[in-house]
Structure 1
Amino acid sequence: MTQSGTIRTGIGGWTFDPWEGTFYPEKLVKKKQLEFASRELTAIEVNGTYYSSQKPATFAKWASEVPDGFVFSLKASRFCTNRKVLAEAGESVGKFLNQGIAELGPHLGPILWQFMGTKKFEPDDFEAFLALLPKTLDGLPLRHVVEPRHGSFQVPEFIDLLTKYNVAAVCADHHDYPMFADPTTGFVYARLQKGSDDIATCYPPEELDAWAERLKIYAAGGMPGDLQKIAPQHKIKAEPREVFAFFITGGKVNAPTAARKMQSLVAES
């Protein structure tokens, strides 16, 4: 394969005091932080939408401040995913999607549906939840990624469901939560969470190099050989994929440095 999909790297949110004077220039006003971050990075995962809804004008304002090609990933409301019966989430899913996110237009990236670490895999109920996720919104294509954080999801049946509904699972590099490395749709979504504030690049340079190679393999339509597949017999479609990699949680102080470094690494031939 000679073509590869776009690789975007980013951080969680854009407002964090320790970034002022380090990532952000001295004396840059807060209202200019998104404008600056969106020109240094290629994606941002928005966590605030997990806790509260926004107004359409807010999404429109965000879209107006970022350049072409930049995207926001939105974490879906906790009211959609923190429930005993996922099949009953339809009203909450609709409320989240219709709060005005379509105002982002082409800047809308994947929607992240994150589950509590205690939520176990119940195939019928989880399939009912996947069936609630629409393919479009006001004519805008939607992409969905789920983040289960319980080991019971690490079974081939889960991978089969994701493939059936054209949904991705988070490829989580985390000390406690499971990793889902199997590609199941046309994009891959990695959350790199093992960083440290004591490391200038968040992740050690050799680990950044290793992840850069994995991201490039994913983008070219492959599967990194050093990551374990949950469904070994599942046939992976070899086609260019869009890839997202966010430096989240661990090492947040230096996450922007890591994201910028990763963007330069994946740009290398």
Structure 2
Amino acid sequence: MPRSLIGVSGWSYDSWRGDFYPEGLARTKQLSYVASTMTAVEVNGTFYSLQRPTTFRRWAEQTPEEFVISLKGSRYVTHLLRLANVEQALANFFASGVLELGGRLGPIVWQLPATITWDAGLIDRFLALLPRSTEEAGKLAEQHDARLPPERASTQPLVSSPIEHVLEVRHPSFTDPAFADLLRHHDVAAVRNDAPKPWPVLDLPSSTVAYARLHGHSRMYASRYADSSLDGWARWCRRWQDAGRDVHVYFDNDSEGHAPHDAVRLLQRVSPP
């Protein structure tokens, strides 16, 4: 049964304390609180640095079994190596503890910088490298290098399940229809966003996942979503659910504290009591 998986991109924001988070809530309880009010979360920390298996394990322990934790792929892969010669970096990423999430592991989002333009060969080679199951990820993780000593590496899947991948592109050249064809070939989704920058607006789910990242429609990372806007996003969710996709929506308009409230408001529209 397709699900609505709606939440926030990150949860450690001081401005949420005493607002979304109850006054006095311990920082160690913030993820658990998010999991009590939403159905999923997107992790930002995995974009900036390799985490530890103990960290992924703690995230799993703090959330219910049905909760989904999506991850942002390493910026070392996307922004520094720019998708080229990334085999070792991918092995290290998957060995860092990703598999410790078990059945909670959601899609992995590979966010490209706006300076990467549509290049069929580059994108094709990158997508072909991505593991599509926990078993494939475990085999890839076993190839990690000395940056991850044995005590910091996790290579054994806890469950046998598919791994979904999502690409967020930020250059207008990706509106080329050949990009959509390539995504279909690899069964990878493109992020749907409505950011107030000249990023391409794409609506390209995979065969199983539709994925949106909402950065703030009029002011980047800041705007609150109006009721009418959330009504539109609820229709988008229902459309792709009816088509058999799990729908992921993550709010990133966090700078003024609107993200968690907007996530709850959308979830109420999609999954009313």
State TM-score, norm by structure 2. Answer: 0.85
In 2: Cα distance, 1:14 partner to 1:116 partner: 23
Match of 1:165 among 168, 186, 189: 186
Counterpart in the other structure of 2:228: 206
Match of 2:64 among 40, 63, 67: 67
In 1: Cα distance, 2:116 partner to 2:210 partner: 23
Counterpart in the other structure of 1:257: 261
In 2: Cα distance, 1:161 partner to 1:148 partner: 14
Counterpart in the other structure of 1:12: 9
Runs of 4+ in 1 over 6 A off after TM superposition: none
Q: Secondary structure at the match of 2:229?
A: helix
Q: What is the aligned length?
A: 246
* Stretch moving more, 182-191 or 48-57: 182-191
Q: Is the 8 A contact 1:111 1:143 kept in 2?
A: yes
Q: Is the 8 A contact 2:53 2:97 kept in 1?
A: yes
2:168 pairs with 1:147: yes
In structure 2, stretches of 5+ residues that fail to align are 135-156
2:207 pairs with 1:185: yes
Counterpart in the other structure of 2:248: 244
Percent of pairs with identical residues: 39
In 1: Cα distance, 2:252 partner to 2:92 partner: 26
Please provide the CA RMSD for this pair: 2.0
* One-letter code aligned to 1:205: D
Deviation, structure 1 residue 196? 7.0
Deviation, structure 1 residue 184? 3.1
Deviation, structure 1 residue 84? 6.0
Structure 1's 20 and 250: CA in aligned 2 closer, same or farther, altered over 3 A? closer
Q: Secondary structure at the match of 2:129?
A: coil
Counterpart in the other structure of 1:94: 91
Deviation, structure 1 residue 57? 1.1
Deviation, structure 1 residue 183? 2.6
In 2: Cα distance, 1:5 partner to 1:212 partner: 14
Deviation, structure 1 residue 250? 6.1
In structure 1, stretches of 5+ residues that fail to align are 222-239
Deviation, structure 1 residue 30? 0.7
* One-letter code aligned to 2:208: G
Structure 1's 42 and 120: CA in aligned 2 closer, same or farther, altered over 3 A? same
The equivalences for 1:104-115 within 5 A come to: 104-115=101-112
State TM-score, norm by structure 1. Answer: 0.86
Q: Secondary structure at the match of 2:28?
A: helix
In 2: Cα distance, 1:112 partner to 1:249 partner: 17
Q: Secondary structure at the match of 1:244?
A: strand
Q: Secondary structure at the match of 2:21?
A: coil
